Structure 1
Amino acid sequence: HVSVQSNWSMEPPTNLHMTDSPIQRFQLQRNVITFVKKELRKIDSVLNPDLTECTKSPPDEDKFALEAREATVKITLHILKCMKEQSLFDKLLQFHQIDACQQKLKSSLKNRSQCIFEGIAKQANPALLNKIYTELYITEGGIGEVNNEHEVRQIETASWTPETQETPIKCNDIFKALPGQNKPIRSVLTKGVAGIGKTVSVQKFVLDWAEGKANQDVHFVFPLLFRELNLIGKEQYTLEQLVYLFFREIEGFKLSNLEKFKVIFIFDGLDECRLPLDFRNNKRCSDITEPASVDVLLTNLIKGNLLPSALLWITSRPAAAKVRGFNDPQKDEYFRKRISDQCLANRIISHMKSSRSLYIMCHIPVFCWISATVLQRMLSDGESCQIPKSLTEMYTHFLIFQTLQMKDKYKELHHLDPHLSRNNILSLGKLVFQQLRKGFVIFYEEDLIECGIDVKDASVYSGLCTQIFWEEFGLYQKKVFCFVHLSFQEYLAALFVHLHWFTTQKPSSGLRPERSINLFHCLNELNDHSLVKEIQTYLHSGQLSMEVLSNAQWSALVFVLLTSDEGLEVFDLRKLFKSDECLFKLHPVIKASRIAILSSCKLMKKSCSALASVLESNPNVLRELDLSFNDLGDKGVKSLCSALRSPHCKLQTLKLEFCGLRRDSCSALVAALKSNPSHLKELDLSYNNIGNDAATWLLGLVPDCGLETLRSLFFCGITKEACAFLTSALSSKPCQLKKLDLSDNRLWDLGVGMFSGLLANPNCNLKEFRLERCNFTSKSCGLGLENSRLRALDLSDNDVQDSGMKQLMNSLKDPSCKLEKLRLSCCRLTDKGFSSLASALRSNPSGLKELDLSKNFPGCTGIMQLFTVLRENTALEKLCLDSCELTPDMCGLAAKGLSQSLNLKELNLSNNNLKDEGVWLLCLGLQDGSCAMKSLKLSNCGLTDSSCQYLASVLSCQSISVELDLSRNAISQQKEQFLISISNINLLF
């Protein structure tokens, strides 16, 4: 529009021909055509039938780009109307309205989500989320159980759990199915302790969607806070009205067609909900236009009655995905991002790692911020006071720091009472204490009034000390109050209780062990370590006696073990007291350990009930349990099996060797594995007389469970009849079993012969097979090792003889044979058997790496043939010729092979009458070639001091350390000391 009073129209019109070249005009023309074509392609995709996906708009479009796209759509709508294509017109118009609505929502959510207030209230300076965001560790799992454990203990337990056992999930992938999961995900519940990062994960998810970076197949995302939904009270709304209430940008857009689109509702902070979510009794509502109270709308939305196509994400403190917060590398990453002075950052990281409780709490991002706030000030200012080492000290310094900041602000506010700080802190402590007892962690105006706190004073205080107590404005600008973190609330509540109800009365002697341990945590926070140091002194001196320990000392012992710097990876009861009573007393330590070694501890069946409670507990970190050589009997093992059925039980290794098990307990064990088949990987029932029937039940279970190692049949009284069943079980369908031990069972040729076709069966995945002392002969040695997956085979103490050796070696010659370890001790082999072995090693030199031929009779010919092959660059690394009637002359034959062997690292010639002459010949071979021996065993070989001199002269020249066994020889103490003085010789006595 031009005014008639303007002189603009008197100017000559702009002459494009004069100002622009033909090339520029052509470029302009081409760009316009390209833009229009691109937009028309989008419009064409919209007009195609069965539209289910939203078209993607470029992120961060400016105003002119948006207007240009809108103009293209309007032109197309005009043309469609002229063409009288009403259906296409309606479809494009609907899309245009949805797109416009979506862009408004994205713009609004981007403005809400792009900044984060790290531990401080919204009056302070915000930081860009994309700049400081550290990807949190979110894991899949959980079954929606109620956890009654304190959250700090949950954080501690999470720190014990190996991360490798869990599937990490990025927040943008929260609705994507994991590998192997085909069922679409409709609802996700993420849980994690307060401050762990649940809300930040939601904020990042929303921001990435709003910026067009992720989940662009989603049409609408509606994030809602429970703390704001609480403010609505009993007012009734339709689902459409509820959405309009919080997202006014889309008001006017009809949500009645939401089922056609992909929509995500995010409900953040279920633990803060004060609405009566009664899933059983709330009325059914399936119409989004039907008015109802907010709790009715939520229960029907969650159950899928209302808008069943919508995706739901709910976050809560106390389930399918769990926010683990920062892992250890991410803790360090946070401090280095937060603190620009890297030397100071490294000092803070070192200090946090030196305190176990503080470093565990650093899983929580907001605690990292509190620690950085306190330590950065203390270390930068060079304060002489002691640096905090406990949670209590850290929060006390944080409170002092914030109070000092408030006093600086107070200088400009002379009308305020100087005692406002102390009085308000104590008033807030009272508020927190009373509300925590009710289970509330956020507060509204009515809560403050109920506790006698003036809302105006609370508002002033929150303005002065924003980093402790926040005041937020929710729906209708109603005030919501909260603290920087739940643990700080608990600190204030404890401070209030301490100041008002302090007592010198000693705690009752009848406290449960868990309560007593909590008292030690309190003493630790108060830096009172006297009783703990007393117990540590006893432990280090080895003078700890179970009979003289008081209840307090038992609790102190548990506390010491739980908080040990050595960690809770392995708990070994054998190092303490071997009894049921000790196991009961140390129950919390076992519960916190990953591996529990309780073998040979004189445990009886009553201990199994205590262990069952550990395996059934949640969370449960115990993965390996060794109960071998305890008289548990059938009853004890049955009570243990009840825990193995629990979904909380994640035990991977169970050892019950020599525990008095029989048929009934094995039956209970099989039933337990059937109900929870996926976790147990290794089972040892050796030396239990379970018999054929029980062995058959167990073997029948193997193909359908996760067992990989089975030593259940070692000396278990099974016979050849079970071998047929075993062969069928391992070959009928793919099986995970990798290690099987059938040693010390009388299988005879008939039983072992049934395995001839098993190993080559494609369903059989055995990699280690032991048949030691199974009473078979050379007739059963055709095991079919070709084309098998077997890597280790033990046939020791069977009547293999040279003929059986020939059958085995024919298989070993085949390049498809992958055998790496072979034990043939005490198999009545002579020089002929050794000849077959040499031929096989020559044909397949890259195969065997470990070979045990002890207690056989090779003779000079056999030794010569074996060591001749070793000169030909075989892969053999370990060779055992213990008790093979070797003589000094044979050492000369062996020396020639050793002089040129590149791979042999361990040689065992013990219990042979080699004498000094034989060792001298061996040393000639060792010093003449490239053999770098790492272990040489010459125990009981008739040696004297002369052999020490020979060995020292050769082995001391090696660049690597060597283990030397000269036990049970006539070696003087002086020569032993001489060998010990040589740095690279590790002498075994």
Structure 2
Amino acid sequence: MKNKFQHLFEGIAKAGKPTPLNQIYTELYITEGGTGAVSDEHEVRQIETASRKAARPETMIRQEDIFKLPPGRHEPIRTVMTMGVAGIGKTVLTQKFTLDWAEDKANQNIHFLFPFTFRELNLLKEKKFSLVELVHHFFTETKEIWSFEEFQVVFIFDGLDECRLPLDFTKNLVLSDVRESTSVDVLLTSLIKGNLLPSAHLWITTRPAAANQIPPECVGMVTEVRGFTDPQKEEYFRKKFRNEKQSKKVISHIKSSQSLHIMCRIPVFCWITATVLEDMMETREGEELPNTLTEMYIHFLVVQTKVKKIKYDGGAATDPHWSPESRKMIESLGKLAFDQLEKGKLIFYESDLVKYDIDISAASVRSGVFTQIFKEERGLYQDKVFFFVHLSVQEFLAALHAHLTFSDSQVNLLEEQQTTFHESKTRTSKDAEIHFYQRAIEKALQSSNGHLDLFLRFFLGLSLGTNQTLLQGLLTQKESWQQTNQETVQYLKDKIGGNLTADKLINLFHCLGEVNDCSLVEEIQQSLSSGSLSTDQMSPAQWSALVFILLSSVKDLDVFDLKKYSNSEKALLKLLPVLDVAFMLLSVCNLSEQSCELLSSVLKSSSASLRDLDLSNNDLQDEGVKLLSDGLKSTKCVLKTLRLSGCLITEEGCAFLVSALKLNPTLLEELDLSYNHPGEESVEALTAGQRNPDWSLNKLWYGET
């Protein structure tokens, strides 16, 4: 175990120098809690949502304590499920846990630790083993042991999202004998349910989209890997760049670009960034560093192709030409990326590659593009599996493929019925190009879960002439790119002025950043800085820019005071997306029942994180409180403080609040009903709730105090 896990290969083993894991390992931000519920949102959208939530007190966990009982828990934890988006560090986490155990640094009470990956187990789908035989198959040193009941055993199953076994927990046979042979699928379901080797501990890692494959009753504790906090990002780059001057330059550059800084919560993106910036600082000193995601990924592709040229083709590091072999490889990988992205497929086998005319042997041996961007893994005695080093790399290559196809044959792959502009009697070449980008924007906006968000950023970023120049020889630069770019920018701004969710709005602003247009945001920022912001005459697009700025600066937004912008219901409606990320100070804002309906929908939202709400001195009346109470009844609501002082509430309105708190007694900790007329019955019910240990309410104000 020590030999196997002591090195970390960022990229893939054959392509880079192995780094001692303990030298580069940067502690990850892991929290306890969560429901293990499935999430089908794009993972970068999840990262960005997390980055703009105000900091909340949460239970932090160190990787070596993953099976230790947290305070207040008395029952032992058998199975831990750890969730996290792709590239966030789940596999490295299990590797560090295993290495620390092997080096006797932690968890010495464990006798046997057996780490498996679902990629390896997939390849045993048609074979039969007993649990003991399966362990012997992967860990030959244990062949003399035929019973594990008397030992402390931990099984790690990494990558549930990559599982291709049925895992049918309702129909599968129940197995209890560790020496009885059956399918790997039945082995796993019996082990996870606790029928097989109940004394063992299990650690399962997964991306959120696959979490529901394991029944909740089989999971003792859910944890989440949040990636790197801001200090951890800096620590990573300081370890990666031993030269202090270089590390400071890299950290400063990352902080200057919002999109890069957010993406650096993902450790794999930190590695991509470090790979690019290290190459640029060594070979192109003085050249401007990439500021956008598209620039970063273009440089990453160029760096990997350059590695191949120097190592295998005898080319110079500065040679700008793409060899026919590299171009063919990128085209094949791009087509694979595009086709499979539409199907949601992220893991590939040799049969998949053959369909795209990819020479597996030549690719895995010689292509720098393959070894760093497209990874190959082989299980013990098993066939190979392939996957892009990160989902974002697949999305970048898919966007590049759509561009290459349009550039070479004028076919728009994003159309439902693909035709060339030559076949259209109504479109000129320029019109077809403009439509090419507008169609991509429309398609991304139609995706409710954001699966095309990052693809769209890359897609529009590749329209820039400067980026096309970086890909000279691979992508043909269009003479009309500047006019097309202006049309696209205007189209984005028109869409931004529409009625969009916060996530879609933010993505479109990031798209504007990818095409180097920040005019909308800069205009509002200047007005805010000078104190001359007037919301009376603001256009819908300018309101959206204000929302984007407020969401982007959430760390400074401890308290959101609506009056600072406008004390009106119209302003609340425009700034609704901000309601979910800060303390809401909405007192004396001329709000009415309509506002309560909006706020209730926020409280019931699946992503609800609004904890503090001050609505004092608004004429909400009983009907408004009734609407708010509907939100308080929701199991998704997390509100802790509610201030309703001077809101013209009577006993009828307070009865709605009491009813909501009886249904959800662990919700509110503070409730202010001063300067209202709650009535004796409601006051008695609320004060009784204060004394009830099952209620969380500990501060209550009522009457004229």
Q: Using structure 1 for the length normalisation, give the TM-score.
A: 0.57
Corresponding residue of 2:688: 700
Q: Residues 128, 331 of structure 1: CA spacing in aligned structure 2 closer, same or farther, 3 A cutoff?
A: same
| Alignment of structure 1 residues 287-302 onto 2, 5 Å | 287-302=177-192
Matched, 1:183 2:91: no
Corresponding residue of 2:371: 466
Matched, 1:710 2:700: yes
Q: Residues 113, 258 of structure 1: CA spacing in aligned structure 2 closer, same or farther, 3 A cutoff?
A: same
CA distance in 1, matches of 2:652, 2:60: 41
CA distance in 1, matches of 2:627, 2:171: 39
Displacement, 1:694?
A: 0.7
Secondary structure class of the residue paired with 1:642 = helix
CA distance in 1, matches of 2:360, 2:131: 33
Corresponding residue of 2:39: 147
Matched, 1:526 2:515: yes
Matched, 1:447 2:352: yes
Matched, 1:269 2:159: yes
Q: Residues 334, 545 of structure 1: CA spacing in aligned structure 2 closer, same or farther, 3 A cutoff?
A: closer
CA distance in 1, matches of 2:13, 2:598: 48
Corresponding residue of 1:494: 399
Displacement, 1:187?
A: 0.6
Secondary structure class of the residue paired with 2:37 = coil
Contact 1:603–1:632 (8 Å) recurs in 2: yes
Displacement, 1:498?
A: 4.3
| Alignment of structure 1 residues 546-565 onto 2, 5 Å | 549-550=539-540, 552-564=541-553
Displacement, 1:331?
A: 1.8
Write out per-residue CA displacement over residues 727-777 of structure 1, whole angstroms, 9 at most, x where no aligned residue: xxxxxxxxxxxxxxxx2xxxxxxxxxxxxxxxxxxxxxxxxxxxxxxxxxx
Secondary structure class of the residue paired with 1:175 = coil
Displacement, 1:462?
A: 4.8
| Alignment of structure 1 residues 626-645 onto 2, 5 Å | 626-645=614-633
Corresponding residue of 2:22: 130
CA distance in 1, matches of 2:295, 2:666: 45
Contact 1:517–1:556 (8 Å) recurs in 2: no
Corresponding residue of 2:587: 599
Corresponding residue of 2:564: 575
Corresponding residue of 1:589: 578
Corresponding residue of 1:62: none
Corresponding residue of 1:395: 297
Contact 1:406–1:465 (8 Å) recurs in 2: no
Displacement, 1:499?
A: 4.2
Contact 2:160–2:204 (8 Å) recurs in 1: yes
Contact 1:600–1:630 (8 Å) recurs in 2: yes
Write out per-residue CA displacement over residues 672-697 of structure 1, whole angstroms, 9 at most, x where no aligned residue: 33444445332211222111111111
Q: Residues 321, 565 of structure 1: CA spacing in aligned structure 2 closer, same or farther, 3 A cutoff?
A: closer
Corresponding residue of 2:453: none
CA distance in 1, matches of 2:101, 2:533: 64
Of the three residues 214, 219, 222, the one matched with 2:106 is 214
Secondary structure class of the residue paired with 2:674 = coil
| Alignment of structure 1 residues 347-386 onto 2, 5 Å | 347-381=249-283, 383-386=285-288
Corresponding residue of 2:173: 283
Larger radius of gyration: 1
Corresponding residue of 1:504: 434
CA distance in 2, matches of 1:441, 1:567: 38
CA distance in 1, matches of 2:571, 2:121: 52
Contact 1:409–1:464 (8 Å) recurs in 2: no
CA distance in 1, matches of 2:575, 2:53: 20
Secondary structure class of the residue paired with 1:630 = coil
Corresponding residue of 1:324: 226
Contact 1:570–1:594 (8 Å) recurs in 2: yes
Contact 2:599–2:628 (8 Å) recurs in 1: yes
Displacement, 1:496?
A: 2.5
Matched, 1:334 2:236: yes
Contact 2:677–2:703 (8 Å) recurs in 1: no
Corresponding residue of 2:2: 110
Contact 2:668–2:697 (8 Å) recurs in 1: yes
CA distance in 1, matches of 2:587, 2:55: 28
| Alignment of structure 1 residues 816-895 onto 2, 5 Å | none
Q: Residues 665, 291 of structure 1: CA spacing in aligned structure 2 closer, same or farther, 3 A cutoff?
A: farther
Q: Identity percentage over the alignment?
A: 55
Contact 2:12–2:371 (8 Å) recurs in 1: yes
Contact 1:196–1:366 (8 Å) recurs in 2: yes
Contact 2:633–2:661 (8 Å) recurs in 1: yes
Matched, 1:345 2:275: no
Displacement, 1:449?
A: 2.7
Q: Larger deviation: 118-127 or 183-192?
A: 118-127
Corresponding residue of 1:985: none
Contact 2:308–2:367 (8 Å) recurs in 1: no
Of the three residues 421, 424, 437, the one matched with 2:326 is 421
Displacement, 1:174?
A: 0.5
- In structure 1, what residue type is equivalent to 2:268? V
- In structure 2, what residue type is equivalent to 1:466? T
Corresponding residue of 1:91: none
Q: Residues 258, 667 of structure 1: CA spacing in aligned structure 2 closer, same or farther, 3 A cutoff?
A: farther
Corresponding residue of 2:409: none
- In structure 2, what residue type is equivalent to 1:411? D
| Alignment of structure 1 residues 716-727 onto 2, 5 Å | none
CA distance in 2, matches of 1:226, 1:492: 26
Select the structure with the greater relative contact order (CA < 8 A; seq sep ≥ 6). 2
CA distance in 2, matches of 1:511, 1:361: 26
Displacement, 1:315?
A: 0.4
Corresponding residue of 1:310: 200
CA distance in 1, matches of 2:633, 2:404: 48
Contact 2:101–2:108 (8 Å) recurs in 1: yes
Write out per-residue CA displacement over residues 881-922 of structure 1, whole angstroms, 9 at most, x where no aligned residue: xxxxxxxxxxxxxxxxxxxxxxxxxxxxxxxxxxxxxxxxxx
CA distance in 1, matches of 2:263, 2:629: 36
Q: Residues 489, 382 of structure 1: CA spacing in aligned structure 2 closer, same or farther, 3 A cutoff?
A: same
- In structure 2, what residue type is equivalent to 1:190? T
CA distance in 2, matches of 1:572, 1:158: 22
CA distance in 2, matches of 1:452, 1:588: 47
Corresponding residue of 2:115: 223
What RMSD, in angstroms, separates the aligned Cα atoms of the two structures?
2.8
Displacement, 1:162?
A: 5.6
Corresponding residue of 2:87: 195
- In structure 2, what residue type is equivalent to 1:520? F
CA distance in 2, matches of 1:194, 1:426: 24
Displacement, 1:223?
A: 0.7
- In structure 1, what residue type is equivalent to 2:673? L
| Alignment of structure 1 residues 764-779 onto 2, 5 Å | none
Secondary structure class of the residue paired with 1:243 = helix
Q: Larger deviation: 275-284 or 552-561?
A: 552-561
Contact 2:586–2:615 (8 Å) recurs in 1: yes
Displacement, 1:145?
A: 1.4
CA distance in 2, matches of 1:462, 1:259: 48
Displacement, 1:349?
A: 1.2
Corresponding residue of 1:892: none
Please list every run of 5 or more consecutive structure 2 residues that lacks an aligned counterpart in the other structure. 209-220, 406-411, 415-432, 443-494
Q: Residues 655, 260 of structure 1: CA spacing in aligned structure 2 closer, same or farther, 3 A cutoff?
A: same
Displacement, 1:493?
A: 2.2
CA distance in 2, matches of 1:336, 1:253: 45
Displacement, 1:127?
A: 1.6
Of the three residues 141, 156, 168, the one matched with 2:48 is 156
CA distance in 2, matches of 1:275, 1:376: 41
Secondary structure class of the residue paired with 1:386 = coil
Displacement, 1:233?
A: 2.3
Please list every run of 5 or more consecutive structure 1 residues that lacks an aligned counterpart in the other structure. 1-108, 716-742, 744-989
Aligned length: 602
Write out per-residue CA displacement over residues 22-41 of structure 1, whole angstroms, 9 at most, x where no aligned residue: xxxxxxxxxxxxxxxxxxxx
Corresponding residue of 2:342: 437
